[in-house]
Amino acid sequence: MDKSKKIGVLLGGSSTERAVSLRSGAALVAAYQRLGYSVIPIDTHSGRALPGILLEQGIDVAVIALHGPLGEDGTVQGLLEVMGIPYSGSGVTASALCMNKALSKRLLHSAGIATPAWEAVQMTVGQPVESLSRLIDTWAGKSLFVKPSSAGSSVGIRRVGEPSELATAMVAASEAAAQPGETADILLEQEMLGTEVTLAILDGEPLPMIEIRPAEGFYDYLNKYTPGRTHYLVPTESLSAQEIQSAVETGLAAGRLLGCRGLHRVDMIVDRAGCAWVLEINTIPGLTETSLAPRAAAAAGLTFDALAERILAGATRE
């Protein structure tokens, strides 16, 4: 990338993942400064003012470090397309598809890529949960996760092991996804038992797979972003070479199916039979000190600065 070009790192935003985005963005800004690029951090919380800021600052290329709605869902990507500014990561279509967990799971299922059983439901934030008895009957005897359909960073996710826990979990997911009085899209997903892994993919090539072992509980927001609460194994220790290869192929196929590009990450569970089940695809993985993609890059011999430069080099338009 020509170092005379002005880079805008888009960070912050207004989603519930703002805090994580600020950390990811700050890490990228520091890396580009070390590399000698002209870089400006731009907080997209400015909303309607964003196009004017991009023009005023003379941004030539955008590196997107946004997580969650209004940043990772194709909206900012669409704006950059209209403005003719190349940007990092996946395009409008792939970003929108992957942000919507229910829709992406439908596409994965239709393509024969294993993904846990799920049900998409809607509820109005602040109002009593409706049709709870039907949901309890449908999911009777199964442990499940309840989460916002369009959010990441494990925001609003709850594990439900007993019917009595379902209403509380749905309320938590809805409040994380929407404002009072608004309709929230919620995903109920069957819990899969097995080894939790993640596969970061950079420019179509897999980075070393990481096995995720929380010290306690599941891989929620606290375990994800608190140093020391989760053990990360690279290479994985619980899977055979054949199981690893199969999971890598599944992850690559999922990314190709949804049209991902640049740096993206596929989260999976490998069951006891060796089948890899795709949970979700993250088109803008976190780049904090506890994040998975930089850890995978390091295992492949890439420093954080080298990873940041690869992300920048892949900036383009759809």
Higher pLDDT: 226 or 294? It is 294
- Is the pLDDT assigned to residue 172 strictly greater than 80? yes
Listed range (29-43, 97-111, 212-226) with the worst mean pLDDT = 212-226
Quick one: which of 156, 157, 162 has its CA closest to 143?
162
Candidate list 90, 153, 154, 223, residue with the active-site label? 153
Q: What does pTM read for this prediction?
A: 0.91
Listed range (164-173, 213-222, 274-283) with the worst mean pLDDT = 213-222
Quick one: which of 30, 93, 94 has its CA closest to 63?
30
Read off the pLDDT band of 162 (50, 70, 90): confident
150 is catalytic: no
Q: Would the CA dihedral through 301, 303, 304, 307 be positive or negative?
A: negative
240 is catalytic: no
What pLDDT does residue 231 have? 87
305 is catalytic: no
- Is the pLDDT assigned to residue 266 strictly greater than 60? yes
> pLDDT digits over 274-289, tens only?
999 999 999 999 999 8
**Region 109-121 average pLDDT:** 96
Q: In the chain, what are the domains?
A: 6-89 (3.40.50.20), 97-113+193-313 (3.30.470.20), 118-190 (3.30.1490.20)
280 is catalytic: yes
Listed range (108-112, 134-138, 222-226, 267-271) with the worst mean pLDDT = 222-226
What pLDDT does residue 204 have? 97
What pLDDT does residue 223 have? 65
225 is catalytic: yes
Read off the pLDDT band of 153 (50, 70, 90): low
What pLDDT does residue 2 have? 82
Higher pLDDT: 282 or 142? It is 282
228 is catalytic: no
